[in-house]
Amino acid sequence: MNTDRVLIQALVYLAASVLAVPVAKRLGLGSVLGYLIAGAAIGPFALHLVGNQADVMGFAEFGVVILLFLIGLEVRPALLWTMRAAIFGLGAAQLGVVGLCLALAAFILRLPWQQALACGAILAMSSTAIVLQTLEEKGLRRGAVGTAAFGVLLFQDLSVIPLLVLLPLLAVAPVVVATGPSGLHGGLHGWLHAVAVLAAVAIIVAVGRYLTGPVFRFIAAARLREIFTATALLLVIAVTALMQLVGVSPALGAFLAGVMLAENEFRRELEADIEPFRGILLGLFFITVGASLDFGLVARHPLLVLGLTVGLMAIKAEVMTRLGRLFHLTRADARMVGVSLCQGGEFAFVLTGFVITAHVLPAPLGHLLNAVVAVSMVLTPLVFLVHERVMTVPERSDGPRPEEPAFDAAPDVIVAGYGRFGQIAGRLIEANGFRTSVLDISTSQIDLLRRFGRRVHYGDASRLELLHAAGAAEAKLLVVAIDDREKALELVETARQTFPQLVILARAWDRRAAYELLAHGADAVERETFEGSLALGRMALERLGVRAHQAHRAAAIFRRHDKRLFEKLRPLWGDEEGFILASRQSAMTLEKLLAAEGLGQQGEEADGGWSTTSLKKEMEAQDGD
């Protein structure tokens, strides 16, 4: 019975998103609005296909946790340090100034000052999920806008902890016990709680730094993909559980765990494994926000809710824009940050619930706040759209914006397979100033390379998600240097289909594999033993007494001849069965090739330019006359 209910619920959620999201995207509304509309449609206040959102909400918030974990993976500790101005400067300023402005507005609306302050703090929060998802879709997450917005959101996450401690102090009625939403910390007080939080953070740092490496290496060595995924999920869930136990935002804990793993060689694989969960759970999160929209309340006081929402968004956007200008953002960037952070956040729901139980706010006011926050979330994608339509022209006049790569810069080249072959190609590319992103599947190889100070990521490059995570969408070139022939073909095919802009250069086992790789979409191939054999042959010629330059030319002629033959036989390989090629190939020994060299016109040029034979003949003929 229960399973049936879960299945039907899943059916409703999935059907709603499958219907609404592509349509919304098609209409240019963005996926977030699509999910929100889907949620509103199936919610208890419209079609009533799904009931109470509280359970689902708790589950869906896990999507935000995963989002923060993935972001953490991109932020190496050193990078976090460079972002300190955005986090503690702009972030603190946003929460303080925006919070006070909102409190002032609430005070003017005749709320007692304590309630006004609580409202200000709660409403100053923005939605991490909506903002980051939207910025990502618009390709703004890595620039100045992304860094500023992310810094502010991170600070908001950080400040949830002190807010949970401080807000109860604003209680109008005497508080019996200042309990948090749930968990162990409810019973703890003051410094004991602080110690628990610090201990939890220390555990995450220590585990992330020292334990995950060996554990993942052990699991990767087993080459069981699903266990790797399970481990990754386990890690995120464990962090979430730990943080909830001590009453800290799980998203923050997940972010911290991500940062700890950002320099880990398994980072790309982790990203690829967890990414799908993020997408689905975030979608679920947006649906629950849409579904929890209390149409009843909105319908009863439409003007009040709408007025408050518009006021909230206007104040947040305007104040944030001004703050952004103070922090040296360009006008267009500051405006973009302001607009993106103008909605209420998911933490508002948590905090309202909390302050109602703490008797800071009366319950009806709390519900009103929730409605306003939810409506502002629904309106955010629309505000983005309006902002884009209205602001594109003046924004352009500000000139090209210098993009500051706050996150890992996109690579020029992805090198898949960093063994004997890939290393040389990769090092040559890197030595010439191109950024590479390197993937390898052998943990021992990665270990070895890391000891030499090279950054190599663990992963099976034939997986599409991993290619995405490695930056294949922005890269110019993919070097396929893995020695597993099947995997190489698979990789070339996937990459060709998904990333048409990529130039794909592939290592081929032999002539036959080379044709196959080309047929699967590689732009060029190199038979792995060809150049080496040629070099050895040339060396042999030299030892046999052929002058070095002559040997060099003989090898070069051989190379050219063979490459032309390779091209000539290429259509043959496609049409007829492979055995024709195979037989031709076996017949085409070095001996025959060289003989052909001598018979054909190619032989002329070997030393034609330096030969005096024909000149001598002509001179002799003239002398004879």
Per CB under 8 A, residues contacting other proteins are 540-541, 544-546, 553-554, 556-557, 560, 591, 594-595, 597-599, 601, 603-606, 608-611, 613-615, 617-618, 621
Measured from the CB atom, is 486 or 625 closer to other proteins?
A: 625
| Angstrom distance (rounded) from CA 75 to CA 83 | 10
Q: Write down the least CB distance from residue 411 to other proteins, Å.
A: 22
Measured from the CB atom, is 79 or 606 closer to other proteins?
A: 606
Measured from the CB atom, is 476 or 549 closer to other proteins?
A: 549
Structure tokens at 203: 């555990």
Measured from the CB atom, is 108 or 544 closer to other proteins?
A: 544
Measured from the CB atom, is 302 or 598 closer to other proteins?
A: 598
Q: Write down the least CB distance from residue 603 to other proteins, Å.
A: 4
Q: Which residues contact 478 (CB under 8 A, 6 or more apart)?
A: 413, 414, 416, 472, 495, 499, 502, 503, 504, 505
Q: Write down the least CB distance from residue 125 to other proteins, Å.
A: 52
Measured from the CB atom, is 277 or 558 closer to other proteins?
A: 558
Q: Which residues contact 61 (CB under 8 A, 6 or more apart)?
A: 250, 285, 346
| Angstrom distance (rounded) from CA 139 to CA 154 | 19
Q: Write down the least CB distance from residue 561 to other proteins, Å.
A: 11
99-138 burial: b if 16+ Cβ within 10 Å, else e: bbbbbebbbeeebeebbbbbbbbbbbbbbbbbbbbbbeee
Cα-based angle 532, 535, 537 (whole degrees, multiple of 5):
110
Measured from the CB atom, is 586 or 612 closer to other proteins?
A: 612
* First-residue to last-residue Cα distance in the chain: 114
Q: Is 340 exposed, middle or buried (0-12, 13-18, 19+ CB in 10 A)?
A: buried
Q: Write down the least CB distance from residue 619 to other proteins, Å.
A: 10
Within a 10 A sphere around the Cβ of 45, how many other Cβ atoms?
15
φ, ψ for residue 232, nearest 5 deg: -60, -45
Q: Write down the least CB distance from residue 436 to other proteins, Å.
A: 21
Closest CA to 61 of 374, 275, 283, 351: 283
- Amino acid identity at 270: L
Residues β-bridged to residue 439? 416, 457
Q: Write down the least CB distance from residue 518 to other proteins, Å.
A: 21
Q: Write down the least CB distance from residue 434 to other proteins, Å.
A: 15
Structure tokens at 29: 């509304």
Measured from the CB atom, is 215 or 593 closer to other proteins?
A: 593
What 8-state DSSP symbol labels residue 173? S
Cα-based angle 453, 531, 437 (whole degrees, multiple of 5):
30
Q: Write down the least CB distance from residue 571 to other proteins, Å.
A: 16
The residue behind tokens 């950002």 is 262
Closest CA to 223 of 484, 441, 401: 441
Measured from the CB atom, is 403 or 620 closer to other proteins?
A: 620
Measured from the CB atom, is 214 or 545 closer to other proteins?
A: 545
Measured from the CB atom, is 586 or 614 closer to other proteins?
A: 614
- Amino acid identity at 521: G
Return the half-sphere exposure (C-beta side, CA atoms, 13 A cut-off) of residue 375.
Answer: 25
Check: CB of residue 327 under 8 Å from CB of residue 90.
Answer: yes
Q: Write down the least CB distance from residue 461 to other proteins, Å.
A: 29
Q: Write down the least CB distance from residue 610 to other proteins, Å.
A: 7
359-392 burial: b if 16+ Cβ within 10 Å, else e: bbbeeebbebbbbbbbbbbbbbbebbeebeeeee
Structure tokens at 339: 């607009």
- Using DSSP's 3-state secondary structure scheme, residue 528 falls into coil
Measured from the CB atom, is 431 or 621 closer to other proteins?
A: 621
Q: Write down the least CB distance from residue 559 to other proteins, Å.
A: 8
Q: Write down the least CB distance from residue 570 to other proteins, Å.
A: 16
Measured from the CB atom, is 144 or 505 closer to other proteins?
A: 505
